[in-house]
Amino acid sequence: MTIGSPAAGSVLVVSASMGGGHDGAARELCRRLEERGWHTRMVDFLRAAPVMGRLLRWGYTAQLRAAPWTYEATYQVWAQSVLARPLVVVLAFVFGRRMRRWAVQLGADAVVTTYPLASVALGHDRRRGRLDVPVVTFVTDFAVHPLWVHPGVDLNLCVHQQSADQAAAATGRPARATGPMVAEAFRRPGGSRLEARAALGLPAEGRVVLVAAGSWGVGELEETFDSILASGRYLPVVVCGANKRLRRRLAARAGGVAMGWTDQMATLMTAADVLVENAGGLTSMEALSVGLPVVTFRPIPGHGRQNALEMDKAGVTAYVSDPEQLMAALDRVTTLAGRGMVAAGRAMFCADPTDDILELIGQSTPVPGAAVDDVRRLGHPSRPRRLMKAGAAAAMVYAGLNLAADAATAHGLGVAHAQPHVAAIYLGLMIGPANASGPVAALLARDHVTAIVNGRLARVDPGAVRRLMEAGDEVANGGWGDQDRLHVLQMEDGVSRTNRVIHLAGYRCCRDYAPQQGINGSDLALARIAHERIVHPSAVVGMGAPLPRLSAGWIYVIDAQGASTTLIEQRLDHLIAAANQRGLTTASFASLR
């Protein structure tokens, strides 16, 4: 931003280099403020604590690219649980001092943030009197979680009224829906569709689907590309961002167009008939401004999936999760039926956020007793303070990955439940090498018992999986077969790996995940990534153990991995007879909701 004597005042804008969405909104905000004569400085939240900032950015990138389920677990633990509050204290301790220093150096009349962690850290300091100027959060997402908003922030500006209502309810502070912050090129795109296609070298006829996944090109883009291409009805044009490997792989396919990072997104959106995206971020907001229908398919974990749900609820996008739904959604939104969604998207752009920011600055007065830090007192932190910051950050990471992950599943999120008011018990049986090749398939089909198969067995004996499915048995994903409680740390997770092996063996994916180790928050994330639900047994019954007390709605898993088919049949007969004596029926996991 231009440095000089401010004509009206100064505003510090805090973003973060965590993808293009936060920075894009921050740059546009700075442009609009400077157009009105205000001096701005845009800073990177991650540089407020450079070492920790680099670790955060590296960790976020690694999670989304190598093990997205770990990001889902992190999101569920920190952003969606009671642990959000202590995390805010840590963030303010690690990053707050430098941000306050930036505000003092600029002589800022207000601090505006477009990044959630910066928002809560600044809100914490504002509430405790460490900042004597207003703090404004521009919430770039539809999903408003506890790490986006803070009671200490003076004003929350949101992209939709639905989000503003959530922010106001969570903080008790003012929240207004001004609409998304997008650049001028998307608010007034020039040229016709034919002109845009000619400029990009795209065919004039036919329907074009623009596929985008942000500046990093993460998510299930290959599956999306292949699904659209296989339909024969649409031409996929994929923007791979900085993901060069993905671009090379897609460019090698016959059909479709694969592009790298581009500054022609406005032209691409003008040329396309529909956008397929996976995060609900800035790209989708730009499309809504252009008037391009938006479909969210296989969103990235965490905030991406939550954004998709909220945007679908608001009626501005369509959220689908499997290829058949995707094609149906594309057919729907590219016809007259999609006009209502386009109109709802454009209606979001109802105000200019800079009006609300400048109005707040004009109304603000110093907080009584507020501590106005000078630059001298905000000098570089001492070595003990740096060590304390590092220790706090390390403790935060350890707690999130190894201890607090259980919080997500403690409330039953993503876990299968019994049907209400049904007098039934639900049965699953762990298959093992000793019985996989016998007549157990017909036995389970007869008694309506779910077969639980682990990945090791499916890899060694794929024929057993095939026989189970051919007999009409429901097959559940039993994980890879490891008993590691800390499987949250694995980079190659057992859920997706086992699902893939079972699919190759029986040509059908599993609906349920019944892990053979204790369930923690990572299981929730893993199952959601694989589009499976967790089946948490009420009791695990050993082959030689006494029958447990049977209760309606309970889930019983029989561990028969080392038993013969004869012993399995006897055990099932006893269990079913005991259930019938209590007036209970038996059912497989398919009857769970």
Are 388 and 302 within one domain? no
Instruction: Enter the DSSP assignment of 10.
Output: E
Give the whole-angstrom CA distance, residue 122 versus residue 187: 31
Give the whole-angstrom CA distance, residue 148 versus residue 158: 11
Within a domain: residue 150? yes
Give me the residues paired with residue 224 across strands: none
Are 581 and 448 within one domain? yes
User: What pLDDT score was predicted for residue 167?
Assistant: 94
Residues 413, 414, 418, 419: what is their CA dihedral angle, to the nearest 10 degrees?
A: 100
Are 54 and 123 within one domain? yes
Report the CATH number at residue 514.
Answer: 3.20.20.370
CA dihedral (149, 151, 156, 160) positive or negative = positive
CA dihedral (514, 515, 518, 521) positive or negative = negative
User: What pLDDT score was predicted for residue 65?
Assistant: 63
Q: What is the pLDDT of residues 252-288, one digit of tens each?
A: 887 888 888 888 889 999 999 999 988 778 888 999 9
Are 52 and 122 within one domain? yes
Give the whole-angstrom CA distance, residue 68 versus residue 62: 8
User: What pLDDT score was predicted for residue 370?
Assistant: 40
CA distances from 55 to 115, 144, 476, 547 (A): 17, 24, 37, 51
| Backbone φ, ψ for residue 180 (5° rounding) | -65, 160
Give the DSSP letter string of 310-374: HHHHHTSSEEE-SHHHHHHHHHHHTSGGGHHHHHHHHTT--S-HHHHHHHHHHH--PPTT-----
Terminal alpha carbon distance of the chain? 54
Within a domain: residue 1? no
Q: What is the CA angle 325-331-336, rounded to 5?
A: 130
Within a domain: residue 15? yes
pLDDT tens, per residue, the chain with 593 residues = 433 334 479 999 999 988 678 888 999 999 999 999 999 999 999 999 988 888 888 777 766 665 565 666 666 666 655 677 888 888 899 999 999 999 999 999 999 999 999 999 999 999 999 999 999 999 999 989 888 999 999 999 999 999 999 999 999 999 999 999 998 888 877 788 899 999 999 999 999 999 987 666 566 777 888 888 888 889 999 888 777 887 888 888 878 888 888 888 899 999 999 999 887 788 889 999 999 999 998 887 777 788 888 999 999 999 988 888 889 999 999 888 788 889 999 999 999 999 999 999 988 654 443 444 444 445 555 556 555 555 555 555 545 444 444 444 444 445 777 766 788 999 999 999 888 877 899 999 899 999 999 888 988 898 888 889 888 899 999 888 754 444 444 434 577 788 888 888 876 778 888 876 656 555 666 666 667 788 888 888 888 888 888 888 889 999 999 899 899 999 999 999 999 999 999 999 988 87
| Backbone φ, ψ for residue 208 (5° rounding) | -110, 130
Residues 6+ apart with CB under 8 A from 57: 17, 18, 46
Give the whole-angstrom CA distance, residue 197 versus residue 22: 29
Are 360 and 501 within one domain? no
Q: What is the pLDDT of residues 486-519, one digit of tens each?
A: 444 443 457 778 888 888 887 677 888 887 665 6
Are 400 and 425 within one domain? no
Give the whole-angstrom CA distance, residue 29 versus residue 181: 7
Q: Which residue has the tokens 């032209």?
A: 267
Within a domain: residue 4? no
Give me the residues paired with residue 320 across strands: 297
Residue 558: which domain range? Answer: 410-591
CA 591 from centre of chain? 28
User: What pLDDT score was predicted for residue 173?
Assistant: 93
Within a domain: residue 3? no
Question: Which amino acid is it at 416?
Answer: A
Are 152 and 95 within one domain? yes
User: What pLDDT score was predicted for residue 349?
Assistant: 93
Which of 52, 51, 40 has the alpha carbon at shortest distance from 15?
A: 40
Which of 13, 68, 61, 77 has the alpha carbon at shortest distance from 39?
A: 13
CA dihedral (137, 138, 144, 147) positive or negative = negative
Do residues 476 and 514 make contact, with C-beta atoms less than 8 angstroms apart? Answer: yes
User: What pLDDT score was predicted for residue 128?
Assistant: 93
Which of 367, 384, 321, 378 has the alpha carbon at shortest distance from 531?
A: 321
Question: Which amino acid is it at 426?
Answer: Y
Domain count, the chain: 3
Within a domain: residue 252? yes
Are 504 and 529 within one domain? yes
Residues 6+ apart with CB under 8 A from 126: 135, 152, 153, 154
Residues 6+ apart with CB under 8 A from 586: 424, 425, 426, 427, 447, 448, 449, 575, 576, 579
- The tokens of 5 are what? 């004597």
- The tokens of 93 are what? 């301790």
Do residues 488 and 405 make contact, with C-beta atoms less than 8 angstroms apart? Answer: yes
Give the whole-angstrom CA distance, residue 529 versus residue 305: 10
Report the CATH number at residue 75.
Answer: 3.40.50
Give the DSSP letter string of 96-147: HHHHHHHHHHHT-SEEEE-SHHHHHHHHHHHHTTS--S-EEEEE-SS---TT
Q: What is the CA angle 248-253-259, rounded to 5?
A: 45
Within a domain: residue 426? yes
Are 36 and 87 within one domain? yes
Are 175 and 191 within one domain? no
User: What pLDDT score was predicted for residue 482?
Assistant: 58
Report the CATH number at residue 276.
Answer: 3.40.50.2000
